[in-house]
Chain A
Amino acid sequence: MTTARKSLPLTHNLRFYILMSSLLISVVMVAWLRVSIESEQLFLIRTQQVFGLCGVLLWYVALIISPMGYVFGKERISYMLFARRAIGVSAAYFVLLHGAIALFGQLGGVQQITLLPNIFKWSLLSGAVAGLILLVMAATSFDAVIRRMTYKRWKLLHRLGYMGGLLAVVHIWSVGTHLAYSGIQFAAFIALVVLSGLESYRVTTVVAKKHSDLKSKDYFATLLVAIWALWIVIILAIPGLVENYHSQHTGHKMGFATEVQL
């Protein structure tokens, strides 16, 4: 729960610097890409890709902070816990820019979606739902909203961030051209395994608090490994369950994903 800060100057607020940095990064990226890319089409493609990447990276950081508190102790990561709200809002900002450029810049309007292959339509839908969840979370990131909603309901709403993250993964996997490269696949897999491992630890800790018989080391470790293994199976199942459009027509091997497809 956030302690009210009645008169904290902006320049003393870490969140201000995070939000301003995000704004500056977006401006610099647009300007730099415009200066270095002549083609209008390629400029829109690269801008949309970069903003999508910034959005997903910040979302990942925002998601990983909470379980890190359980592993390392909340006192040790107090700065990150305080910064998390601004990181989440920044993620929503970049995701909004990514969606706007892709829909109105690249596609030329929402009505053009009807002309896309089905895989793109489903991918855009999962991306849109993920983006909407993130925007709702950003919009409810104010102390006044938390007080009005009550902390319990607000926390429940923000648990949707994980579902949004999963939908974002589906969106990226299905039409993201980067993920046809095995190096990127491997990095994404490691990132998801790390996040799921920390989340599994958090869930196991919470369950063990409620059920005293699970507090013994053996039971705790068994439950942790079981939950984490389940997450890894889900992550590995994504390439088998969700098509990747880019690899269908290029020479890109699915590489790592092919080897572990179920």
Chain B
Amino acid sequence: MKYFLIVLAVALLFSAGSASAHVLIKDKSGTKGAILHIQPDDDPIAGEPATLYFDMQNKNANTVQLTIANDNTKEVTTLKPAKTKGSLVTLTYTFPAQGIYTLTFATTSGSETHTFKTHQRVSRGVASGSITKSYVWAEALLLGSGVATIILATTFVRERRAISAAAKLSK
């Protein structure tokens, strides 16, 4: 049973990398929220089409416009939604290269306009030559926890008989 659970856990853990999630973005006033979801996996691939799902939680919005600005090249693209269903708009866009992009959704409902802005990092696909960040603290933690794991495993193996006896004594 325990081996089945371990295999299931590992399989599910690896499958976690292929799922996506929803991100809350706020408008300029901070009083309105919208949900953004990008496929594939909230981690679009430069050079391949990505689908953006934007739930503005407002079924009465007349127009929705998305502006995508490449923070590196300063290139700006304006898109109109391909599909609108209630409060949900769907757009397709191909990010040209890896980098950071600013996504600005402008929704208009009568005389009201709400602007939602978020930044999206594209780290897969066509490279842009930009310098990637490194996290020294994370690398140090990995090394440290690796050493700690070895020490823990060694201690467990060495004390396994005493551990077994102690577990049997307790009910």
What residues make up the interface of A, taking CB atoms closer than 8 Å to B?
1-3, 5, 8-9, 11-14, 17, 20-21, 24, 27-28, 30-32, 34-35, 37-42, 45-46, 48-50, 53, 57, 60-61, 68, 78-83, 106-108, 112, 114-117, 120, 175, 177-178, 181, 183-184, 187, 191, 245-246, 248-250
Contacts and interface: CB of A to CB of B under 8 A. Distances in A.
Contact of B53 (A38, A48, A250): A250
A5 B166 contact: yes
Given A28-B145, A115-B24, A49 B166 contact: no
Nearest to B159: A11
**What 3 pairs between A and B have smallest CB-CB spacing?**
A115-B33, A39-B121, A34-B138
Given A17-B163, A34-B138, A82-B167, A45 B24 contact: no
B32 interface: yes
Contacts of B148: 24
A38 B132 CA distance: 8
A13 B170 CA distance: 11
Contacts of A61: 5
Given A8-B166, A41-B119, 8 more contacts: A3-B170, A5-B169, A31-B145, A41-B121, A82-B170, A107-B24, A177-B20, A250-B37
B108 interface: no
B74 interface: no
Q: Is the interface of A mostly helix, strand, loop or mixed?
A: helix
B149 A45 contact: no
B93 to A, nearest CB: 16
Interface residues of B, number: 61
Interface in B122-171: 123, 132-133, 135, 138-139, 141-142, 144-146, 148-149, 152, 155-156, 159, 162-171
Nearest to B167: A82
Nearest to B155: A11
Contact of A78 (B23, B90, B167): B167
A45 B42 contact: yes
B88 interface: yes
Given A5-B170, A41-B121, A27 B23 contact: no
A189 B145 CA distance: 35
A30 B120 CA distance: 21
Nearest to A38: B123
B12 A106 contact: no
A228 B75 CA distance: 61
16 contacts: A3-B171, A12-B162, A28-B142, A38-B121, A39-B123, A41-B23, A46-B16, A49-B21, A53-B16, A79-B164, A79-B167, A82-B170, A178-B19, A184-B15, A249-B85, A250-B39
A170 to B, nearest CB: 17
Contacts of B12: 53, 57, 178, 184, 187
B142 A35 contact: yes
Given A14-B166, A57-B9, A21 B152 contact: yes
B88 A20 contact: no
A177 B19 CA distance: 6
Nearest to A12: B162
A35 B90 CA distance: 32
Contacts of A17: 152, 156, 163
Given A38-B123, A39-B123, A112-B24, A31 B142 contact: yes
Contacts of B132: 38
A133 to B, nearest CB: 22
B151 to A, nearest CB: 10
B138 A30 contact: yes
